[in-house]
Chains A and B, each alone.
Chain A
Amino acid sequence: EPEVTQTPSHQVTQMGQEVILRCVPISNHLYFYWYRQILGQKVEFLVSFYNNEISEKSEIFDDQFSVERPDGSNFTLKIRSTKLEDSAMYFCASGGPIRSGANVLTFGAGSRLTVL
């Protein structure tokens, strides 16, 4: 069964450092998302990406965050200058082509980010 792959599985960084989280969505999917889950809290929407641009973003997704699909396969989330409160599990998700229902999202295993 196709899956969404995320790397790294765990990253520890110092406050103020830049972090890039990588995702390889399912190959024929057109919709891409980042969500995060702070320990013990709910899964929060960060951003959605379609047709090579951001289609929606939450209040959390401020100027410190950016997303990119640099080569048609990877989908990256960059945090420019990490803060302690960025420590969370970051989930990438992708959704299928419209004809098969783009509404079901397949999630990756997550990248745990720890900011010290």
Chain B
Amino acid sequence: AQSVSQHNHHVILSEAASLELGCNYSYGGTVNLFWYVQYPGQHLQLLLKYFSGDPLVKGIKGFEAEFIKSKFSFNLRKPSVQWSDTAEYFCAVRGYQKVTFGTGTKLQVIP
């Protein structure tokens, strides 16, 4: 069975600080990995995805994530956060068909 762990439940940062959100997954086969974002009162939106190839993937709004196969990790990073990045971030893994989400990390950026 596939599973996803997000270790940071709530992160508070000042504007311009750097961000790294941890994500670890478990699945026995080839995986596709995703980060989704949910802004307050809005629906899930895809930030970035990894299928294969370059393990460093770049997404929208300056976000990037690095797939490290040996660590079963797919951490999300952004060098300088903005107040508008305040949202909940979900790591997700897709094995055979369904997508499994992590518990989410609430990011609060203080101006």
Contacts and interface: CB of A to CB of B under 8 A. Distances in A.
Real binding pair: yes
Interface stretch (A16-24, A70-78, A101-109): A101-109
Consensus secondary structure, chain A interface: strand
Consensus secondary structure, chain B interface: strand
A99 to B, nearest CB: 14
Interface residues of B, number: 21
B99 A45 contact: yes
Contacts of B51: 101, 103
Nearest to B31: A103
Given A42-B104, A56-B98, A103-B32, A110 B43 contact: yes
B44 A91 contact: yes
Interface in B61-111: 90, 94, 96-104
Nearest to A44: B101
Interface residues of A, number: 23
B97 A31 contact: yes
A93 B94 CA distance: 14
Interface of B: 32, 34, 36, 42-46, 49, 51, 90, 94, 96-104
10 contacts: A41-B103, A42-B90, A42-B103, A48-B97, A103-B49, A103-B51, A103-B94, A107-B36, A109-B43, A110-B43
| Nearest 6 A/B pairs, CB to CB | A43-B101, A109-B43, A42-B103, A107-B44, A103-B32, A45-B98
Given A43-B44, A93-B99, 20 more contacts: A41-B103, A42-B90, A42-B101, A42-B102, A42-B104, A43-B90, A43-B101, A43-B104, A44-B101, A45-B100, A48-B97, A55-B97, A56-B97, A56-B98, A91-B43, A103-B51, A105-B99, A107-B44, A108-B43, A109-B43
